[in-house]
Structure 1
Amino acid sequence: MRKLINSTYLTLDGVIENPVWTSPYFAEEAAEVAAGLTAGADALIMGRATYDGFSQAWPAMDESDPSTGAAFFNNVKKYVASTTLRDPSWKNTEVLEGDLVEAVAKLKAQEGKDIVQYGYGEVTARLVKAGLVDEVKFWIHPVIEGVPSFAGALSDVKATFELIDTRVFKNGVIVATYRPKATA
């Protein structure tokens, strides 16, 4: 069975939206972790907001430059959880039909590599609640941005995770990797 891995950038105060504050911290160590994540994946799952942002940014980037990651993002199979998107224009994008939990469970049961999801919002919260997220990577940046945006997405989700890896970059970013803790 494929793993579903969530990778989320956040500030010290829990802000995850519009992570423009990550740019100064995306150095060699971050590129190495990011490349490892995409090398192990053959699909992306995203909500509509992430799709809208990614589909505007990635196609404009140079796919011939391996440091951008654009070749992966523009060519990988992409699944979008949306009730309003009908005809996605970004190459290899499919809108998930029907119940999100059932659709993602079917994707995970297929042969293939890992499925990656970026950002943490309503879609991730529903998948965590359903027990479908196998791993979360929180990229904690040494930045304070303002009001945390995590609260709404997490309000009805109860889950316990165990730390499986920690990577501390020279620039102060910490990538903490967790997996759901088995319940007795």
Structure 2
Amino acid sequence: MTTRGRIVIDLFTTLDGVAQAPGGPDEDARNGFRFGGWQAPFPDDMVGEQVSAYIDSMDALLLGRRTYDIFAAYWPHHTDGPAGSVGRTFDRVPKYVASRSALTPAWAGTVQLGPDVPAEVDALRDRHRDIHVVGSVGLVQTLLAAEVYDELRLWVHPVVLGEGRRVFPDGAAPATLRLIEPPLVGDQGVVQLRYAPAGPVRTGDMDEVDFPR
């Protein structure tokens, strides 16, 4: 039996679940967001090592339109120097983009997905081994709601913003997740959490739970 590829979602988040504009002030200022670049004060070695490892492992990149535009404007021009290995990987792998408007890509290897994004993303599992979604909060919310993913990897930073686009906003699809490895804690207090989907939400009565004594 042929093993299907994996869809891995990679997100930098705050303690209150905000994933908007971690990289810089001009990254995404929608709705008057004031805290672009909130990740910068936490240069964590663990995060750097883990991010390098997942970039090395990927053979396809899956992006929402806004994140794609940011990446396409930056990474093709940064294939040398300290970040060169990242730029070369992003240049080399196929890039799939979910966008409601027509896309005329200048970045080699770019393919726009059709209107049924969950179905098209699921089909990528038959073409690739390790498909990574980076940023792209709107796309991530679509994939989480449809449970079209194999791993949700969060790097949770020790900061609370109180505003911004959250991974799980009000009205998010109910779901249970399963922690698939012990958390990693970095030297700046960033925690890596790796989850897999675990089916629908289950409920019970705490009065009936037999706690260890």
Q: Deviations over 1:17-42 (max 9, x none)?
A: 11022234334322210122122210
* Aligned counterpart in structure 2 of residue 13 of structure 1, from 13, 16, 20: 16
**1:32-181 correspondence to structure 2 within 5 Å:** 32-65=49-82, 69-110=86-127, 112-119=128-135, 121-150=137-166, 155-165=171-181, 166-181=183-198
Report 1 or 2 for greater relative contact order, CA contacts < 8 Å, sequence distance ≥ 6: 1
Tell me the amino acid that sits aligned with residue 158 of structure 2.
P
Q: Distance in 2 between matches of 1:7 and 1:151?
A: 11
Work out the CA distance in 2 between the residues paired with 1:101 and 1:87.
Answer: 22
Q: Which residue identity lines up with residue 65 of structure 2 in the other structure?
A: R
Number of aligned positions between the proteins: 183
Cα gap change, 1:153 to 1:97, in 2 (>3 Å): farther
Give me the whole-angstrom Cα distance separating, in 1, the residues matched to 2:40 and 2:72. 19
Q: Is there any run of 5+ residues in structure 2 with no aligned partner, and where?
A: 23-36, 203-213
TM-score w.r.t. length of structure 2? 0.77
Question: Alpha carbon RMSD of aligned pairs, Å?
Answer: 2.2
1:150 aligned counterpart, secondary structure: coil
After superposition, the Cα gap between the structure-2 partners of 1:151 and 1:173, relative to the gap in structure 1 and judged at 3 Å, is closer
Q: Distance in 1 between matches of 2:167 and 2:129?
A: 31
Larger Rg: 2
| Alpha-carbon contact 1:64-1:71 (below 8 Å) kept | no
TM-superposed deviation, 1:14: 2.1
Identity %: 30
Gaps of 5+ in 1: none
Instruction: Tell me the CA shift for residue 182 of structure 1.
Output: 4.2
TM-score, length basis structure 1: 0.88
Higher helix residue share:
1
